Structure 1
Amino acid sequence: MADVFRGLNLLETLKESIESNKLSDVKDAVEDLLISRINLAVVGDRGGEKASFMNSLRGLGPDDKDAAPSQSPVAPEEVTGYPNPKHPDFRLWDLPPVPTTSPFEPEGYVNRFKFLRYNAVFMMFTQKLQPNSVEVCLEARSLQQQAVYFILLASAKDTEKKSLEERKEAALEVLKSQGVKQPKVFLVRPSTLEKLDFPDLLADISKALPEIRAYAFLLALPALTPALVTQKKEAFKALIWAAASLSGGVSAIPVPLVASMVDSSIAVRILTKAQLSLCLDDKSLEQLARQRNLEAAELKRLRTCVLSVEVTKVEVKKRLAAAEKELSTASSKLLEMAMPRHARSASRAFTAMLQTLNSAVDEMAADAERIVTTALGQEK
């Protein structure tokens, strides 16, 4: 269902679905964003750089539980899946390198490893880009798999920027010589994804994926930079609007505070997702502290919102009830004038849900931005 949103503004599409009474589409969108169902293929030589890249995409260090090992335990021709511990439906698939032999049939590689099952494919290399990898890319694009990206991984030993840029330029020449239109190569250092070309890679992925998949992808990534925190917050605003719209639909019953009781479960799910996506939970902060050589307690003290520390049903119900009570007294006359009687409770439910969750996510995102800024050693 979600792929119908390709190229459209997600929030506007959700509004159109509500207006057309297509609530099932909105419910599907909410679920897609909450579970972050994304499959990414990572093609290339198995080793420390590739493992580090896959771990960093999942917010893990080399010694963390569930981290991809630098020495792959599987046979060279097998595929291994690495789910994200916090977002199990966000999966990276470790594919073997493209053979360098000649002659080579790219169609066989693409079919064997079922490229069409992946939302995006990362073609990775550390030295030279092999022509056969380009052939695989062209074959995948001929099958409408447009989201294929070439990534030059910089290892810890690659300290000379000039050498890296020369390798990047050489790879671009290979792409041009084999007929790739508008070729791009992204230079990425796995241990510090916030630097070099990774932000540009994210921007390209967000444009290429169906919008709801792009939002789900952003929500499953670790909070790498203040800019990414802002993007996550905007994605949550679309999710909150959809959930609030459903709230208004199911709660059109003139019973005081009924929305607070009905909505608390979905509100807890959204705010729990926000806590994990913004990396505010204890485990994420402890991992971040280890990766950046900081004290975990220092990062934990930067959480000022109670929901950043722990999302509880009691706190969420309290906030929903307070918002609805305020609306029932402050806006009742306006609602009575503007809406038919049967819709008044629904309107209050929508507004209470929207205001409560938006306010909570704003507070949590502010905490996340402070933490990321501190971890990166940046001044505001």
Structure 2
Amino acid sequence: MAQPSKSAYFNHDELKDLKSAYEKGGLENAASLIQQKLNVLHNVQLNIAVTGDSGAGKSTFIDAIRGVQGDDEGAAETGTTETTMKPTPYPHPNLPNVCFWDLPGIGTPNFPAKTYMSAMNFQKYDFFIIILHGRFRENDVSIANEIKRLGKNLYFVRSKIDNDLYSMRKKNKTLNEEEELKKIRRDCVSKLKVAGFSAPTVFLISSFEMNDFDFPELRETLANNLDDLKKQAFLMSLPNTTLEIINNKRKELKKRIWMLATISGSVGAIPVPGLSFSCDIGVLVSAIKEFRKYLGLDDASLQRLAKMTGKPVEDLKAVVKTPLLGEVNKEFVIRMLMGSVFVGISTAEVVLDFIPVVGSIFGAASSFCLTYKILNNALDELAENAQRVVKAAFGTD
């Protein structure tokens, strides 16, 4: 049997436990631990704090990164004066366990600097984003230094770059945008250095142009600085604005397939009519629906994307060419299994390097192979359709 090694979502000790569980109680015993890990994946909490001056663009940023428009239900409250009187949660519309928190400004009568940190309960947040527009104030320094003291990650975001460039362009028709962006960045960095930050990174963004300026780099940086569990939650929460986002989601979801296949072939398995193996069809139904939701192909996500891009939702749905967006139920999955030509799948076709009990799985449960292949193909098919939707929404090739 293969020795435990590095595995997506499982640390070394958990892999040892998984191997031991199989040796003591067989595949069903190991599947119980795998189900526990899947439950953790579904329920992992990610709390992101967003702070900055009133009018800096906090609310617009919170809506943009959740794929929400200002007039949608659940949109963040906006205003030119301080509208946030307490830490206000804005959960993701599809993944409520991913939550952005709009923190009120420091130094106001409601939140004087000396009591601000304790009132905001800084410990609860996984990382912080300070939205800047204009000068970097002493209060911002106070917040940033406290975040550093707590050992939390902090990101400086300079918002409304599109507005700045528009104003400059009105004054200078031959504006060199690249040079102006460099000037803005140097100015922000120099002020942060004066405030005591030795090598600060500042992301220049527009919340209305999520694929331009530094917004893609910001998304990538935020994801890469999270552990595996929270990273997958963050990636799944991103609105589909680029093909890269969809590819990243597909990679993360592929890491779950061996776990789902193990459970389908063991716990709660029932015979499939006309086939010589058993599986948990409910697992397959739920997995396909989850893949569809995470890849932004559910009705609510398509409506939000259409609204974001100004395209009719019918145009986005027209490019979808898969029955997987229809009614997915027990009967649908059984038809998929009956029509499958993948029963002869070999171990070489499955990504096995992170499965500690793989030899025994293939020896004991042929249903693992077919279930793995069915889910893998379903995921690829949904991801390809999600890419077509993004191309139609944003007019990209």
TM-score (norm 1): 0.81
1:91 maps to amino acid: C
Name the counterpart of 2:384.
366
Give secondary structure in 1 for the equivalent of 2:57.
helix
Shift of the 81–302 alpha-carbon distance from structure 1 to 2, 3 Å rule, reads same
CA contact (8 A) 2:161 2:204 kept: no
Shift of the 303–150 alpha-carbon distance from structure 1 to 2, 3 Å rule, reads same
Shift of the 196–74 alpha-carbon distance from structure 1 to 2, 3 Å rule, reads closer
Shift of the 156–197 alpha-carbon distance from structure 1 to 2, 3 Å rule, reads closer
For structure 1, which segment, 305-314 or 281-290, has the greater mean C-alpha deviation from structure 2 after superposition? 305-314
Alignment of 1:225 onto 2:208: no
Q: Which runs of 5+ in 2 are unaligned?
A: 1-5, 22-29, 169-176, 347-356
Q: For 1:195-253, what per-residue CA distance to the aligned partner results, in whole angstroms no more than 9, with x for missing partners? A: 21122112222221111110111011111200110000001001222222333453789
- For 1:16-31, what aligned pairs fall within 5 Å after superposition? 18-21=18-21, 26-31=34-39
Shift of the 330–309 alpha-carbon distance from structure 1 to 2, 3 Å rule, reads closer
Name the counterpart of 1:53.
61
Name the counterpart of 1:150.
156
Give secondary structure in 2 for the equivalent of 1:97.
coil
Give secondary structure in 2 for the equivalent of 1:149.
strand
CA contact (8 A) 1:251 1:346 kept: no
For structure 1, which segment, 301-310 or 356-365, has the greater mean C-alpha deviation from structure 2 after superposition? 301-310
Q: Using the alignment, how far apart are the partners of 1:243 and 1:131 within structure 2?
A: 51
Name the counterpart of 1:137.
144
Name the counterpart of 1:336.
none
Give secondary structure in 2 for the equivalent of 1:216.
helix
As a proportion of its length, which structure holds more helix? 1
1:174 maps to amino acid: K
Q: How far 1:94 sits from its partner (Å)?
A: 0.8
The match for 1:215 among 208, 212, 232 is: 232
Q: Using the alignment, how far apart are the partners of 1:343 and 1:163 within structure 2?
A: 59
- For 1:1-380, what aligned pairs fall within 5 Å after superposition? 10=8, 13=11, 18-21=18-21, 26-35=34-43, 37-47=45-55, 49-71=57-79, 76-99=84-107, 108-145=115-152, 147-154=153-160, 157-158=163-164, 159=166, 160=168, 161=177, 163-250=180-267, 259-260=278-279, 262=280, 264-320=281-337, 322-323=339-340, 326-327=342-343, 346-379=364-397
Shift of the 78–267 alpha-carbon distance from structure 1 to 2, 3 Å rule, reads same
CA contact (8 A) 2:246 2:383 kept: yes
Q: How far 1:16 sits from its partner (Å)?
A: 6.0
Q: How far 1:321 sits from its partner (Å)?
A: 5.1
Give secondary structure in 2 for the equivalent of 1:112.
helix
Shift of the 258–41 alpha-carbon distance from structure 1 to 2, 3 Å rule, reads farther
Q: How far 1:254 sits from its partner (Å)?
A: 8.9
Give secondary structure in 2 for the equivalent of 1:190.
coil
Q: Using the alignment, how far apart are the partners of 1:138 and 1:217 within structure 2?
A: 25
1:376 maps to amino acid: F
Q: Using the alignment, how far apart are the partners of 1:17 and 1:185 within structure 2?
A: 43
Give secondary structure in 2 for the equivalent of 1:64.
coil
State, as a whole percentage, how many aligned pairs show the same letter.
28
Q: Using the alignment, how far apart are the partners of 2:363 and 2:301 within structure 1?
A: 39
CA contact (8 A) 1:40 1:120 kept: yes
CA contact (8 A) 1:40 1:93 kept: yes
CA contact (8 A) 1:128 1:167 kept: no
Q: Which runs of 5+ in 1 are unaligned?
A: 1-7, 332-338
Shift of the 311–193 alpha-carbon distance from structure 1 to 2, 3 Å rule, reads farther
Q: Using the alignment, how far apart are the partners of 2:260 and 2:17 within structure 1?
A: 13
Q: How far 1:286 sits from its partner (Å)?
A: 2.5
CA contact (8 A) 1:257 1:321 kept: no
Give secondary structure in 1 for the equivalent of 2:47.
strand
TM-score (norm 2): 0.78
Q: Using the alignment, how far apart are the partners of 2:333 and 2:315 within structure 1?
A: 26
CA contact (8 A) 2:133 2:160 kept: yes
Q: Using the alignment, how far apart are the partners of 2:7 and 2:97 within structure 1?
A: 24
Q: Using the alignment, how far apart are the partners of 2:218 and 2:345 within structure 1?
A: 47
For structure 1, which segment, 130-139 or 80-89, has the greater mean C-alpha deviation from structure 2 after superposition? 130-139
Q: For 1:299-332, what per-residue CA distance to the aligned partner results, in whole angstroms no more than 9, with x for missing partners? A: 1011111113454343234334555x852x777x
Q: How far 1:109 sits from its partner (Å)?
A: 3.0
Q: How far 1:36 sits from its partner (Å)?
A: 5.5
Name the counterpart of 1:335.
none
1:353 maps to amino acid: T
Q: CA RMSD in A?
A: 3.4
Q: For 1:25-53, what per-residue CA distance to the aligned partner results, in whole angstroms no more than 9, with x for missing partners? A: 53343223334632111112344832221
Q: Using the alignment, how far apart are the partners of 2:212 and 2:58 within structure 1?
A: 17
Give secondary structure in 1 for the equivalent of 2:85.
coil
Q: How far 1:87 sits from its partner (Å)?
A: 1.4
